[in-house]
């Protein structure tokens, strides 16, 4: 079947928006001057790392989805404490993160780095909060669910505010690359069982935070002006270049980012036998990661069936127009909820329809971090 052009759902109506993330103040999309999600019977929410790129996106997603809350606490480091930000028509003072910050908090969204999570998430749990942690601190802890709501919601079925005791719990948000990959690979895995997956990622500056995004913009100006590029976040020139992901290299030759894809896939799918190999690359794109995924199946899966499965899967949009050579791009998915899938084709190197290639793009800050975390929080209600 010749692949046809698919409508981009809401992509055509909401063009990409980029933010420098310099300012502490937060401006929500113009939905209403009245905070519709402020509800007396809602949970008390805390956002940890609120001044970072993901912390700001937490607020955007909470607002976009009308997440109900009776109160919200803005938490960050000491140097940000005392500053003010606006959210849904109200002014909030940013508070320094301390153990007492979690008194009376029901749900705490963490995105302040692994060391902060390791120190403060258990404290929050002891004080009764359910922590949704965006760092890698607890992902491989067998006691902690690692959840993509469209993929394995049952992993956290035993945790909810209705079942809350004196202590809370931690739910881990997977790595952005894992989320984007498994959103597309899982529906196919359910149908034909993936036995081997080869992933090559093309990761944007947003994956390294707001400072990396600023450095990419700065370097681009410097290189175009014939100046030596400033290299503070990365050790080498990022503008007009690409290089192996900056995560530390392990003794097996893989870097930590690549091994996250391996280990997290096995945990989320609850299948230690699936073979996964990954190569992660930084590319000079501001926002949204792309991934090339090659799948080998235990059972045959033809291209037409695969396309139908992906069309019907939650959280995906198909952009696959062969006649016009139009497929997913980072620009099309920036600031969007869905993961885009294209380049859907049979792997000619494998016989009997046991292999498939797909290409995916997803917003690292949006679905790859904040949206996934808020969707987890919604399941706690």
Selecting among 8, 245, 289, 354, the annotated active-site residue is: 289
Distance of CA 307 to the CA centre of its chain: 24
**Contact assessment for residue 258 and residue 245, using Cβ atoms and an 8 Å cutoff:** yes
Residue 14: active-site member: no
Residue 176: active-site member: yes
Residue 124 CB contacts under 8 Å (≥ 6 apart), including other chains:
46, 102, 105, 108, 131, 168
Three-state secondary structure call for residue 219? helix
Nearest to 179 by CA among 378, 381, 363: 363
Rg (CA), the chain: 21
Three-state secondary structure call for residue 271? coil
**Contact assessment for residue 247 and residue 262, using Cβ atoms and an 8 Å cutoff:** no
Nearest to 288 by CA among 255, 327, 330, 258: 330
CA distance 319 to 338: 11
Read off φ and ψ for residue 286, nearest 5 degrees. Answer: -70, -45
CA distance 267 to 147: 10
Structure tokens at 170: 């931690």
Selecting among 176, 181, 280, 361, the annotated active-site residue is: 176
Three-state secondary structure call for residue 97? coil
CA distance 94 to 81: 5
Nearest to 349 by CA among 294, 268, 278: 294
CA distance 287 to 329: 11
Catalytic positions are 176, 289
């Amino acid at each position: 079947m010749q692949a046809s052009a698919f409508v981009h759902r809401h992509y055509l109506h909401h063009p990409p928006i980029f933010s420098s993330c310099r300012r502490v103040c937060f401006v929500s999309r113009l939905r209403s001057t009245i905070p519709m999600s402020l509800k007396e019977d809602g949970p008390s929410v805390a956002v940890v790392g609120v001044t970072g790129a993901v912390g700001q996106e937490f607020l955007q997603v909470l607002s976009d989805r009308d997440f109900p809350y009776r109160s919200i606490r803005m938490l960050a480091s000491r140097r940000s404490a005392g500053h003010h930000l606006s959210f849904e028509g109200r002014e909030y003072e940013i508070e320094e993160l301390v153990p007492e910050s979690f008194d009376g908090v029901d749900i705490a969204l963490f995105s302040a780095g692994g060391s902060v999570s390791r120190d403060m998430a258990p404290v929050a749990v002891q004080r009764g909060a359910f922590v949704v942690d965006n760092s890698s601190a607890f992902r491989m802890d067998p006691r902690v669910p690692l959840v993509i709501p469209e993929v394995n919601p049952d992993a956290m079925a035993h945790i909810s505010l209705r079942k809350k005791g004196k202590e809370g719990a931690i739910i881990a948000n997977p790595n952005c690359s894992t989320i984007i990959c498994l959103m597309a690979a899982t529906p196919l895995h359910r149908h034909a069982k993936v036995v081997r997956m080869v992933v090559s990622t093309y990761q944007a500056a947003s994956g390294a935070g707001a400072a990396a995004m600023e450095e990419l913009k700065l370097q681009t100006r410097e290189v175009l002006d014939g100046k030596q590029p400033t290299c503070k976040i990365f050790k080498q020139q990022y503008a007009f270049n690409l290089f192996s992901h900056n995560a530390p290299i392990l003794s097996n030759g893989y870097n930590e980012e690549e091994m996250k894809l391996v280990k997290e896939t096995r945990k989320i799918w609850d299948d230690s036998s699936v073979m996964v190999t990954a190569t992660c690359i930084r590319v000079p794109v501001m926002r949204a990661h792309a991934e090339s995924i090659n799948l080998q199946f235990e059972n045959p899966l033809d291209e037409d069936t695969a396309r139908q499965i992906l069309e019907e899967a939650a959280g995906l949009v198909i952009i696959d127009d062969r006649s016009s050579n139009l497929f997913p791009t980072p620009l099309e998915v920036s600031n969007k909820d869905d993961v885009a899938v294209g380049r859907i084709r049979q792997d000619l190197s494998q016989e009997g329809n046991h292999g498939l290639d797909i290409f995916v793009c997803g917003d690292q800050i949006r679905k790859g971090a904040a949206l996934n975390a808020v969707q987890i929080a919604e399941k706690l209600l």
